[in-house]
Chain A
Amino acid sequence: MNWGVFVSSFLAATIEVIEMVAIVVAVGVTRSWRASLTGAGGALVVLAVLIVVFGTALQGVPLKPIRLVVGALLLAFGSQWLRKGIFRVARDGWALGIGEEEVEEGVASGFDWPGFVLSFKGVSLEGVEVAVIVVAFGAAAGAIGSATAGAAASVIVVGAAGLTSYRVVARVPRRGLQLFVGAMLTTFGTFWASEGLSVHWPGDELALVWLGALYAAAALGLVRLVSGWRRQEEALLGGASR
């Protein structure tokens, strides 16, 4: 075992795996676990086939166009959720709890295809990046086995942390959850789409943290703003009816 390659691969893969697990847990808690896990499983199968077929040639995969497409799709969907989440919290408050209301009114009783697509895209994009990390570190040091073990350890550790955290996430009132998951999907979408266009982010991957904080803060500000518009309008209507 080449421990230097193992640790490097583990740390580099962890950044990507955290993003992957965050999307799977968010989609599972807010939409459908069945769709989210099926999407993640489908993406892992596609990845396994890609790795078997292409092997070390994966190093040459152009990541920028993939980031742009996946990022733009996540951004379009995430911004819709963010907007709906803000509006519902402003209209009805944060108080509604687990099981009292479906988060997404459009989730059909059958299989949740949007949830499947979100999870599939998140896992396949991040999975390709992990595969590229493994191939890059492994091929450079002639230690593909150690690099693969490092990435696999990262998936196990972060996956277990994700499974533990979902119980905490599931305690958040559902309207608030939709707002914050919308902010999170919008954050990933903004970051990836911009990276696909060769934008350099201040702080590199750390930009995900401040961008997420920025969208969450903007969402909370917009909740107050929309509540204010509604109160103003009610006061005007009340005055007109007297």
Chain B
Amino acid sequence: MKTVGEIKAAIEAAVPGARVEVILNPGPAAEHSLLLSHAHATDIATFLRDDPAYKFDFLSNVSGVDWLDKEITEKVKVTKPVTKTVDGPDGKVEQTVEETVEETRKRVEPGYLESVYHLYSIALRHGPLVLRMRTANRTDQVEMPSLTPVWRSAEFQEREVFDLYGIVFTGHPDLRRILMWDEFKDHPMRRDYVEPDDFEYEPTPHDAVLKRAQEHRAAEAAQGTRE
């Protein structure tokens, strides 16, 4: 199979206006992936499926990833004017000097939800090609285009990603919960999901369960609900 760089070039030549970014995998597997822009995702997917050089006719896997807000601490060298008292020829003089100071800055990189598609070609016996798409944030703008119109096998897996991560796939023919019940409100695979507090009976608690059970018992004692 061609490298992701070559595939990126081919996509950008074939689909006008498409923006594709190569995401490198630093691990030994070196399974690099392509980040697709939302606007052209369906066109790119159709191209990858139909182009005789690629023929990715088998979508093996769709998965979701939840990336939390990341706080990044970095050291930056800043040049700023500093007022100093300097010994001059006629006594002390106030002087403004440009000085380079090292400063620690914190910035928050906003989190996002991501879906990952693994493609193979049965016809040409190559793969996998890894595609990614990212939402704008993880709270209100969680839409991304569905690839179900291109690969039918994405239907249930996108439903599962919707169910567990809350990514809304626009253009999906039947976007309902698939594993949890319809009345369920949360998305359990999100990293800020709060599990129901059902630690009322833990005969052999240890580690995290012991902590949760103790918290539960303390809350019950505070409310006076434990008989």
B is bound to A: no
